[in-house]
Amino acid sequence: MDAAPAVAVALAGATYVYPGSSAGVRDIDLEIASGEMLVCIGPSGCGKTTLLRLIAGFVKPQAGSIRLGGRDVTGADARSRECGIVFQSYALFPHMTVRDNVGYALRVRGVAGGERAKRAGRMLELVGLSAYADRLPAALSGGQQQRVALARALVFEPRALLLDEPLSALDAATRVAMRDEIRRIQRERAIATLLITHDQDEALSLADRIAVMREGRLVQVDTPQAIYDAPASGFIAGFVGRANVLDATVAGADAVDTPVGRLVTRVHGREAGAKVAVLIRPERVEPVGDRETGDNLLAVAIERDRFFGATRALDARIGASRLAIETSSRAPVRRVRIARDAIQFLDPVPPSKEAT
Amino acid sequence: MLLVAPAGALFALFFAVPLAVLAVDALGEGGTAFARVFALPTFWPSLGGSLVLTLVAATLSTAVGLAVAVHLASMSERRRTLLSFVIALPLTFSGLIVAYGFILGWGRAGFFTQIVAALGADAAVIGKALFTPTGLAFASSYYLIPRVVMALLPVLVNFDRAQLVAAESLGATRAQAFRQVLLPQIAAPVAGAACLVAAVVFGAYGTALALVGTQLRILPLQLYSLVSETGSDFPAAAALALLITAACSAMMTAGEWFGSRHERHLAN
């Protein structure tokens, strides 16, 4: 049996509300295991960055506790927490060379010049920037600066790595390349990492687990697949990926009435007449031909058709309702089918009916 | 061209023409007026007094002004605006008011002097200290500090403070972050502000005159004596005026050079 991974970062009931405001985070219980990449997402102002600032020690919790590597650091200041942080703006020191930037944490720890240069050199090798060691940050591209910031944050072997929207200042192509780079380096160093982002693609592709925040609270913490396939609420469903969230009424043992029509699906023991919300991902709405027969076939009128190369995103009208569709098909879409298992209930199954 | 004409006219009337007249007067006797200035028994002590005054006042004002500007820059915009207004107020006071205020506060019978004397210090020594170049430097800082603050505040407000936060998260103390991260990046504007206040205090005479009359040996008061005494040597006064102007201009030029160096650094 594998040993359970050691917890590198643990927050228990951590609360911080900015003075004179209701913004902040409340009652956060969260653990990040050694070597784990936890990505925190949520809309602007949901408290993601405050969560990072709490762990980093830039703000102290008004309630709850924070542990790093098993040590209680609730009242400790930022410099004694030993977290490597990559800031949104990178915050590189523009008057220092790349090597001096990377070696700065060693300099303030009194590491001698030769040893410092050696260790900074090794980090630059890790991020593929050895050839740029003597340049100033201004002479580097955004992606290169980002890598310097990463190397600087890792050189002193921190207890945890905290990344505050590190890719948001990069162009789309560089961003995708840097995602893989960050993941590679993080895995290589096997360091507990918290990455803050508002980009769902970034979260889904990078994370071991995703923490979704809303209004200062964690609303779901799970694997990317679980968050996407079994979101705990309509908000999460809508925030992570595109979603059709429909108000529905249970119409019997195997159907729900929705604004787009009656859909056949398992209702998992819910009472007839119960009001529910169902989720249908756009890629599970499948365009079909005119002669297709079976359940859950709907005639649609396409209002908007956006072409993304590999896929198309369609906005379809069914009566007075709209349905988002994502398909790789190039053909005109007039009818769609929604598979039974593509219809998920967003409200929890009543406990007594779970086995039904 | 039309827009700069009024400024050009003012520059000519109040700088170029007076300077030209001074130059004619000072150089009229083949430059012997300069020799007479250097031969004055009070010239070299006055030059020494001016240098001490300038060095102490510029250093003190720059250090205090920098600390104030750093603090102001970390505040909310609203509080910063309010405090900046209060800090700038001394710039509107005349030297006479400043001098009188310091006499009331730090003169022999001054309020603060009496408090310090009550704690065991010698009131006569403290009261006398105000009327030395160092004492005058202390008084001058009153209106020099706001100049430093106003010169450095925009630089510090625009400084990316995330760098300081980053430095601390990497293990630096506040002092290390200030010394190793902030200071090297603002060194040029700080030096520029120091040059500016050095030029101001080197050429200023209002506060000094009101505070100590012509007893203190500094160059502007030497010039005042040359101009005001009966039987004055006006060519020598003109020569001394040119020397003071040249010294102030050199300091201002150095300040501008530091300023433009910072601009170039930002552009890169």
pLDDT, one tens digit per residue, over A82-94 is 999 999 889 999 9
Residue type, B85: F
Residue A107 clears pLDDT 60, i.e. is over it: yes
Confidence category of residue B162, pLDDT binned at 50, 70, 90:
very high
Query: Which of A78, A95, A152 is closest, CB to CB, to B184?
Result: A95
Q: Are A61 and A50 in contact (CB under 8 A)?
A: no
Q: What's residue A1's pLDDT?
A: 45
Q: Which residue of B has its CA nearest to A78?
A: B169
Q: What's residue B257's pLDDT?
A: 86
Q: What is the ipTM of this complex?
A: 0.79
Tokens of B208: 């000094």
Residues of B in contact with A85 (CB under 8 A): 166, 169
Residue A279 clears pLDDT 80, i.e. is over it: yes
Instruction: Tell me what the mean pLDDT of segment A326-350 comes to.
Output: 87
Residue B104 clears pLDDT 90, i.e. is over it: no
Q: How far apart are the first and last CA of chain B?
A: 32
Q: How far is CA B51 from CA B39, B56, B127, B240, in A?
A: 19, 8, 22, 15
DSSP A315-353: EEEETTEEEEEEE---S---EEEE-GGG-EE-SPPPGGG
Q: Which residue of B has its CA nearest to A91?
A: B163
C-alpha–C-alpha distance, residues A337 and A153, integer Å: 50
DSSP A58-102: SS--SEEEEEETTEE-TT--HHHH-EEEE-TT----TTS-HHHHH
Query: Which of A56, A93, A94 is closest, CB to CB, to B169?
Result: A56
Residues of B in contact with A148 (CB under 8 A): none
Q: Which residues pair with A214 in a beta bridge?
A: A217
Q: What's residue B129's pLDDT?
A: 79
- Does the beta-carbon distance from B171 to A95 stay under 8 Å? no
Interface of A with B in 137-176 (CB under 8 A): 138, 152-153, 156
Instruction: Region of B53 please: left (phi>0), alpha (psi -120 to 50) or beta.
Output: alpha
Residue A186 clears pLDDT 70, i.e. is over it: yes
Residue type, A39: V
Topology annotation, domain B21-267: MetI-like fold (1.10.3720)
CA distance A83 to chain B (A): 7
Instruction: Tell me what the mean pLDDT of segment A7-35 comes to.
Output: 93
Residue A308 clears pLDDT 60, i.e. is over it: yes
* Strand A209-214 relative to strand A344-345, pairing: unpaired
Report the SS3 class of residue A164: strand
Q: What's residue B138's pLDDT?
A: 84
Q: Which of A54, A79, A81, A136 to mutate to test the interface with B (most CBs of B within 10 A)?
A: A79
In the block, tokens 């195997």 appear at: A254
Q: Which of B160, B163, B170, B179 to mutate to test the interface with A (most CBs of A within 10 A)?
A: B170
- Does the beta-carbon distance from B163 to A91 stay under 8 Å? yes
Residues of A in contact with B169 (CB under 8 A): 56-58, 78-79, 81, 83-85
Q: In what order do the strands lie in the sheet with A344-345?
A: A261-264, A255-258, A244-250, A275-280, A344-345
Query: Which of A85, A138, A156 is closest, CB to CB, to B166?
Result: A85
CA distance B241 to chain A (A): 42
Q: What's residue A285's pLDDT?
A: 94
Q: What's residue A101's pLDDT?
A: 96
C-alpha–C-alpha distance, residues B12 and B4, integer Å: 12
Q: What's residue B268's pLDDT?
A: 60
Query: Which of B163, B165, B184 is closest, CB to CB, to A58?
Result: B165
Residue A355 clears pLDDT 90, i.e. is over it: no
Interface of B with A in 162-201 (CB under 8 A): 162-163, 165-173, 176, 180-181, 184-185
In the block, tokens 């090297």 appear at: B184
What would the 3-class secondary structure string for chain B be? CCCCHHHHHHHHHHHHHHHHHHHHHHHCCCCHHHHHHHHCCCHHHHHHHHHHHHHHHHHHHHHHHHHHHHHHHCCCHHHHHHHHHHHHHHHHCCHHHHHHHHHHHHCCCCHHHHHHHHCCCCHHHHHHHCCCHHHHHHHHHHHHHHHHHHHHHHHHHCCCCHHHHHHHHCCCCHHHHHHHHHHHHHHHHHHHHHHHHHHHHHHCCHHHHHHHCCCCCCHHHHHHHHHHCCCCCHHHHHHHHHHHHHHHHHHHHHHHHHHHHHHHHHHC
Query: Which of B171, B184, B185 is closest, CB to CB, to A109?
Result: B171
- Does the beta-carbon distance from B165 to A87 stay under 8 Å? yes
Confidence category of residue A207, pLDDT binned at 50, 70, 90:
very high
Q: What's residue B267's pLDDT?
A: 61
Query: Which of B162, B171, B268 is closest, CB to CB, to A108?
Result: B171
Closest to A40 (Cα-Cα) out of A189, A165, A175:
A165
Residue A201 clears pLDDT 90, i.e. is over it: no
Neighbours of A342 (CB within 10 A): 19
Q: How many residues does this entry show for chain B?
A: 268
Please state which of the four CATH numbers 3.30.465.10, 3.40.1280.10, 3.40.50.300, 3.20.20.10 is assigned to the domain occupying A7-238: 3.40.50.300
CA distance B172 to chain A (A): 6
Report the SS3 class of residue A202: helix
A58 near B CB under 8 A: yes
Query: Which of A78, A83, A91 is closest, CB to CB, to B160?
Result: A91
C-alpha–C-alpha distance, residues B167 and A144, integer Å: 20
CA distance A213 to chain B (A): 24
pLDDT tens per residue, range B217-233: 899 998 988 888 766 78
Structural domain boundaries in chain A: 7-238, 242-353
Instruction: Tell me what the mean pLDDT of segment B195-200 comes to.
Output: 94
- Does the beta-carbon distance from B165 to A89 stay under 8 Å? no
**For chain A, how are helix, strand and coil distributed in percent, rounded to 5?**
30, 30, 40
Closest to A129 (Cα-Cα) out of A325, A120, B95:
A120
Closest to B135 (Cα-Cα) out of B67, B57, B69:
B57
